Amino acid sequence: MASADPTPRSDPVPGETNDTSNPGIGDIEIMTDRYTNSEWAAHIAETQQKIVVKKEKYWAPGIGSKEFAETIDHTLLKLDATPSQIDTLCSEARTEGFKSVCVRLNYISRCVSNLKGSSVVVACVVGFHEGTQDTYSKLREARAAVAAGASELDIVLNHTILTQTSTSTPKTSNHKANPSNTTTESMTASNAAANSKSRNGASTPAEGTYSLPGSSSRLNESNHKEDIPNYSAIYTELATLRSLCPSPTTLKLILETSQLSPPKILAAAHLAAAANFDFIKTSTGFNGRGATLEDIQLMVSAAEFFSTKTKNNDGSPVRPRKMQVKASGGIRSLPDAVKMLEAGATRLGTSSGLWIMQESRRVLGEKEGGNRRDGPTRLYTDDSVGGY
């Protein structure tokens, strides 16, 4: 569930010792919230009203180029991934010049050692894939990943908090994180419902409809106190993770967009920007559908909004540097990759990176009048390969 015990702790991760090569989280306090929950709701409602979704075509690196390869996080997150598959993943990433390999915590050290001397960095998922782990568990995982050499963390948002509302009055400012106004039981029930829904392949947002500003739809979902999700809980978790893992560690927040309505996606983007995350990312690839063009357009529009000075925010953007957008989940082909980049994503999380690069070379070869073909590819999470 979402809540975190507010008491500072220094207990090690289970199975860990006090050895600094394998640290617990040390003494850390959950960050104090910067607004009351009602204030968050008001800010977020304003965001939801003001963001206009742009459908621009952005510049994207040429297919097959070094810059194109550098948009790819070469990903292997299956629980049964073997050491030998991980070694192959690293060697492919090195050869293709991908930005990173993205793996689970247990393989971080192995990847770091495999990739020594290359420009490929190592990314670790945190709170994967449900996102509902308590804050301390995410903090331990994040800290352990950084200690093992990860330079990027892909952290799953506790997205069930966004779809969980409270009938009680939100807590006021300066409370330490004790995020949930709901009971463990109700949160658990909600998680179970969300999970069973996704297993059944439902891909529609759980609630709410989205439309452009000026409409009379339910765009502003936060007008009523009863409907306010516990934004404070989410912000304090994100801000604490950021404080424990400062820059240059790159932090990406996985929203799991298949589980969120567009207004909830905007709320999550707002909180990520406020906590100074570097990226918002669409999907885990393990829950519901993957990235869609609409998700990316919405998230890119939001990321731009939060870095823009406007009259309405008194010239003070939520986040001065532009938060970037990572498209992930279900990106299986070269056209998928190009579509996401041209919609403004700057990073792609995919287990089909090798296939995408091979397709790039084939298309380039054909354009040049050649007839070049590379060997077969091997996918990690899906055998149904879409063709170009």
Ligand X SMILES: O=C[C@H](O)COP(=O)(O)O
Residues that bind ligand X (CB under 6 A): 75, 77, 102, 284-285, 290, 328-331, 349-352, 381
CB of 374 to ligand X, least distance (A): 19
Question: Left if phi > 0, otherwise alpha if psi is -120 to 50, otherwise beta: which for 25?
Answer: alpha
Helices marked H in the chain: 37-50, 66-69, 83-96, 108-114, 135-147, 159-163, 184-199, 231-244, 262-274, 293-306, 334-342, 353-367
* Least distance to ligand X, CB of residue 184, Å: 28
On whether the CB atoms of residues 329 and 282 are closer than 8 A, the answer is yes
**Distance in angstroms (rounded) separating the CA atoms of residues 229 and 182:** 10
Structure tokens at 16: 């860990």
Shorter beta-carbon distance to ligand X: residue 42 or 379:
379
Smallest distance, ligand X to C-beta of residue 283, A: 7
Per DSSP, the residues of 208-263 read -----TT--SS--TTSSGGG-B-HHHHHHHHHHHHHHS-TTSEEEEE--GGGS-HH
Q: Residues 318, 34: contact at Cβ < 8 Å?
A: no
197 is catalytic: no
Q: In the complex with ligand X, which residue's Cβ is closer, 191 or 284?
A: 284
Query: Which of residues 323 and 331 has its CB atom nearest to ligand X in the complex?
Result: 331
> Among the options 33, 154, 278, 336, which is catalytic?
154
**For ligand X, the closer CB: 9 or 252:** 252
Min dist. Cβ of residue 204 to ligand X (A): 19
Which residue type occupies 356?
A: I
- Comparing CB distances to ligand X, the nearer of 285 and 344 is 285
**Backbone phi and psi for residue 327, each to the nearest 5 degrees, phi listed first:** -95, 130
101 residue type, one letter: V
Nearer to ligand X, 283 or 297 (CB): 283
Picking from 16, 20, 121, the residue whose alpha carbon sits closest to that of residue 70 is 121
> Look-up: residue for tokens 């949160």?
187
Q: 201: which 2 tokens? A: 């392949």
Residue 121: CB minimum distance to ligand X, A: 15
Of the residues 33, 326, 336, 339, only one is catalytic, namely 326
Smallest gap from Cβ 31 to ligand X, in A, equals 26
Minimal CA–CA distance to 129: which of 247, 250, 282, 14?
Answer: 282
CA dihedral for 273, 276, 282, 287, sign (positive or negative): negative
- Residue of 252, 281, 295, 336 with catalytic role: 281
CB 145 within 8 A of CB 153: yes
Let me know: does 130 contact 155? Beta carbons within 8 Å. no
Residue 65 vs 381, nearer CB to ligand X: 381
Q: How far is the CB of 269 from ligand X (least distance, A)?
A: 18
- Residue number, nearest CB to ligand X: 285
CA distance 154 to 146: 12
Please tell me the distance from the alpha carbon of residue 179 to that of residue 371, in angstroms, as a whole number: 59
The letter for the amino acid at 283 is S
Give the nearer residue to ligand X in terms of CB position, either 98 or 235: 98
* 227 among known catalytic residues: no
Smallest gap from Cβ 208 to ligand X, in A, equals 25
Catalytic residues: 154, 281, 326
